[in-house]
Amino acid sequence: MAKDAPKDLAVTEFLYELWDANWDDGPLGNWQILRHEITRKTAKRIYFTFGNRGRRSGFVDRQRIEAEGELFYRPAGRTLYLAEPDIPRQPKPPSLPELKRAMAEAHPDRGGSNEAFIAARRRYEQARLAASA
């Protein structure tokens, strides 16, 4: 440890927000975790900054967020988390063999309906064309 460094550095704490960068145009799922600096804690409230470069301030109910781990912050229309949340993952699209198997299982000769088979074949054909492009 350096001689000039203070012995008890204040640890910066944050509230976290899961934010989709493409929420208004484009496919959902481009998740980012935003950190909102906690500026003060009292027995009842946690005060924090948010917005562009922390220009706005707000507060949340301390007992509730500590009990539940998250809460919806109505003034800004966002959910805030006490701990950094996991980034949701988009489900993996089915592979061509899985789609072909689903198409075979939906065939009318195997107990499926015409509509189910046509829909399964359409999904398979679209995936096959996308894979070859």
Q: What is the pLDDT of residue 9?
A: 46
Average pLDDT of 84-101? 85
**103, HSE (Cβ side, Cα atoms, 13 Å):** 18
Average pLDDT of 81-93? 84
Residue 115 lies in a domain: yes
Residue 2 lies in a domain: no
- 21 and 67, same domain (yes or no): yes
Q: Where are the beta strands (DSSP E) in 9-110?
A: 14-20, 31-41, 45-50, 56-61, 70-73, 78-81
Residue 6 lies in a domain: no
Instruction: Give the residue numbers spanning the domain of 50.
Output: 14-81
pLDDT for residue 12 is more than 50: yes
Q: In the sheet that 45-50 helps form, which strands lie side by side, from edge to edge?
A: 56-61, 45-50, 31-41, 14-20, 78-81, 70-73
- 22 and 55, same domain (yes or no): yes
- 75 and 104, same domain (yes or no): no
Q: Which of 58, 81, 104 is the last residue of a domain?
A: 81
Q: What is the pLDDT of residue 133?
A: 74
pLDDT for residue 28 is more than 70: no
